[in-house]
Structure 1
Amino acid sequence: MPTTPRARARARTMNDIVRIGREHLASNGASALSLRAVARDLGVVSSAVYRYVRSRDELLTLLVVDGYNALGDTVDAALRDASDDPIDSLRLLGRTVRHWALAEPAHYGLLFGTPVPGYSAPAAETTAPGTRVIVALQKLFARAYQADLLIPPAREVRVTAPLAQSFARIRDEFQLDLPDWLIARSVTFWVGLFGAVSADVFDMYGVDTFADRNELFELHLDALLDMLGYHG
């Protein structure tokens, strides 16, 4: 927490800039973000904003981090009240991601939609918040595996040495004790989950194709859990 009046004032201003940036993101889209427009709504001259945020790309990074943390906080809050069953928690996580995305389509689009031309998110600032949901997924996969809820494939999964090294780095990074087949399936689960959410948020289905998208999403979750190896 900021401890001096100047630090507290700066923190308030930064919060206001991010809040106004979120509003502009929702109304105008990421490509149209403008520090001048943010300054206008903040009630200051544009040069004053540059003392806090040096460029449009820096504002985008603030919004990316804000979005990842908002999604991560929402998922963490939901899982705190979840049952001890990791499969139920995986379903809850999936539903929570979808509900947040449908409620925050502009923010979700910034994180998982079409890249903003000319912008590249700096890994040093965005990787940790950007992997919060992935970390939560991996922990649930590990719990399900340790509880013998996931059936391994009938045919042995073989991966090349370079990919095996990638899997080993994932095990080390997340401190997981998972076999290669489950790491491969966990990636498929993650991609499938966000693909299903994106299809809904970005209306890839078309308006009248499916009568009940909530039910459709539950079927997606069933299929992803089947793929993962759950046959409860």
Structure 2
Amino acid sequence: MATPREQARERTMAEIVRLGREQLATTGPVDLSVRSIARDLGVVSSAIYRYVRTRDELLTLLVVDAYGELADRVDEAVSRRRRPQHTHAQRLCASAHAVRDWALAEPARYGLLFGTPVPGYHAPGEETTPVGTRVPTLMTRLLAEAWADGSVGEVPEVRVPAALGRDLRAVRTQLGVEIPEWLLARGMLWWSSVFGAVSFEVFGQYGAGTFSDPRRLFDHHLDVLLGTVGLPPRR
């Protein structure tokens, strides 16, 4: 059980993250200011340095927070489709729609994760990689489940070069999944395409008013992508 001092620290850290989110939405990541957060907390700047010493530390807090919330939303969406009547395709598409829904609701935080890199900032991998890979790992494991029960149908075979095969085997070991190399490569195409389509929409790359219903376009993209991994489009 946490001590009162530890609980107080947790509350302060949560408040710093909340204020960081607000600042991110109004000023952008480049102009994040620890001093501004200290002012909003009502403390002197020297006091906040016990919790966050630099802008980069604040950025890392916000990156980890955003990755974690996104992954939680995807986990929840997939969990709701774990009943026998739900198909592998439905679970994969639920994961994709959860990414899109969160990104549209949190464009500034999505932009921090997948937008233009912040000049001079280098995310510490030991803190950001585990949480940052949760979503693609889940998507890959969903595809592995489909492969394991024979749901993946025939798809046009594309040869995997030897050097790429070595890389894919290393990734497969890291993820702990049992799928052939070609399907792992298709799974990576799935999740990179999902995030690419979401980024195009969030960052306005299609142009304002080009599509009356962007969600319909996204669903079409997903049905095409399902075919690339050997799953039938949803009915």
TM-score, scaled relative to structure 2: 0.94
Identify the residue that residue 98 of structure 1 maps to in structure 2: 100
Q: Does 1:79 align with 2:78?
A: yes
Identity %: 50
Residue identity opposite 1:38 in structure 2: I
Distance 2:42 2:232 in 1: 58
Q: Which amino acid aligns with 1:66?
A: D
* Partner amino acid, structure 1, of 2:108: A
| Residues 6-155 of structure 1 aligned to structure 2 (within 5 Å) | 6-82=5-81, 83=83, 84-155=86-157
Instruction: Give CA-to-partner distance per residue, 1:98-151, whole Å, 9 cap, x none.
Output: 000000000000011110110010000000100110111011110111222223
Structure 1: gaps (5+ residues): none
1:5 Cα deviation from its structure 2 partner = 1.3
What's the CA shift for 1:178? 0.8
Q: Which amino acid aligns with 1:168?
A: R
Asked whether the equivalents of residues 186 and 228 of structure 1 are also in contact (C-alpha less than 8 Å), the reply is yes
Deviation at 1:156, TM superposition (A): 5.3
Q: C-alpha separation between the residues in 1 aligned to 2:157 and 2:48?
A: 59
1:190-205 residue pairs with structure 2 within 5 A? 190-205=191-206
In structure 2, what is the Cα distance between the partners aligned to 1:57 and 1:202? 24
1:152: Cα distance to partner? 4.0
AA matched with 2:16: I
Matched residue, 2:187: 186
| 2:220 alignment counterpart | 219
User: What is the DSSP-based 3-state SS (H/G/I as helix, E as strand, rest coil) of the residue aligned with 1:158?
Assistant: coil
State the Cα distance separating 1:95 from its structure 2 match.
Answer: 0.7
User: What is the CA distance between 1:172 and its match in structure 2?
Assistant: 1.1
1:199-222 per-residue CA deviation (whole Å, 9 max, x = no partner) reads 011111111211210111100111
Indicate the RMSD between aligned Cα atoms, in angstroms. Answer: 1.3
Cα deviation code 1:64-102 (max 9, x no counterpart): 000000001111111111144211101111111100000
Question: Which runs of structure 2 are paired with 1:162-173 in the superposition (5 Å)?
Answer: 162-173=163-174
C-alpha contact (below 8 Å) 1:152/1:181 kept by paired residues: no
Distance between the aligned counterparts of 1:51 and 1:59, measured in 2?
Answer: 12
For the structure 1 residues 102 and 156, does the alpha-carbon distance in structure 2 shift closer, same or farther, using more than 3 Å as the test?
closer
| Alignment size in residue pairs | 230
| Separation in structure 2 between the aligned mates of residue 191 and residue 110 of structure 1, nearest angstrom | 17
3-state SS, counterpart of residue 30 of structure 1? coil
Name the amino acid aligned to 2:73. Answer: T
CA contact (8 A) 2:152 2:230 kept: yes
TM-score (norm 1): 0.95
Task: Give yes or no for the alignment of 1:231 onto 2:232.
Answer: yes
Structure 1 pair 126/231, CA: closer, same or farther in 2 (3 Å)? same
Give the conservation status (yes or no) of the 8 Å contact 1:167–1:180: yes
Q: Which segment is superposed worse, 144-153 or 14-23?
A: 144-153
How far is the alpha carbon of 1:153 from its aligned partner? 3.7
Give the whole-Å Cα distance in 1 for the aligned partners of 2:185 and 2:216.
27
Give the deviation of 1:6 after TM superposition.
1.1
Contact 1:157 1:180 in 2 (8 A): no
